[in-house]
Structure 1
Amino acid sequence: MNSVLRNVLAVIAGWIVGSIVNMGLITLGYSVTPIPNVDPNDMAAMAEVMPTLAPKFFIFPFLGHALGTLVGALVAGAISKTRKMLSALIVGVLFFIGGIVVNIMLQGPAWFTIVDILLAYIPMAYIGGRLARRITRN
């Protein structure tokens, strides 16, 4: 398979797998720490309640964002034929853009936005890329 095509498919696979991990952890979080009287599928209700939530309600969203990015970057880097770190970082940038959009739509506390944007995406993608290079060395 052409290395460029394989790298593109690696990024797509990383994005999909990372998204599954992300949503799985966020869904698990709603089960572990349900938000009282709020349907997590109602974006308007979520946007209204987000600024008032205690820090415990942000643990699983952060874990979803960080571990989803990490796993997605690891998958992309491991599958890529060449430029493993670049593939991992592209996944990180995709998740970063998604994180910015979600943080705009569901404006939570400023502390969460700062921690999420600074720690959950690019650093996790970098770690995922490093792990991918390490486990795929010949």
Structure 2
Amino acid sequence: FMNENVGRAEEAIYFYNKVFKNSEPGDKFYYPEGLEPNKTSQLAHARFKIENQWFTCMDSAYDYGYQFNEGISLMVTLEDQGEIDDYWEKLSTVPEAEQCGWLKDPFGVSWQIVPEHLDEMMAHDSPEQLKRVTEAFLKMKKFDIATLEKAYHGE
């Protein structure tokens, strides 16, 4: 976490642990004195778990010339519309970044909130089905499973 987000890594861990049901914080190590421009209140290294997957993060007060962007995103695949709606409501804070199941959270991290069976719709059937599903989701911000299924079945 750097630039405008420096000092927010610990806040992000708590946020993600609230958003995701199967999550937990891990080890946290703060910068010692003498490593300016970093502060002793900032995380030098931390781990947290979401759905049995460990993630690491850190704060850095150095200017690296970039910020979080869409070059990296985290994908969450979900079974039903209720789950999609729930995660979308909890994570999305940048409406202009919402497109085709993508959103940005309060820290600028990009996420893809995707129906579990979208891959099946995209991979296993006719070119016409693929075209209809693709055309349907390109118009969406948050995925709507019922609309995708109608497109898949040609309804």
Is the pair's TM-score, using the shorter chain for normalization, greater than 0.5?
no
Higher-helix-fraction structure: 1
> TM-score when scaled to structure 1?
0.31
> TM-score when scaled to structure 2?
0.29
Larger Rg over CA atoms: 2
Bigger relative CO (Cα 8 Å, ≥ 6 apart): 1
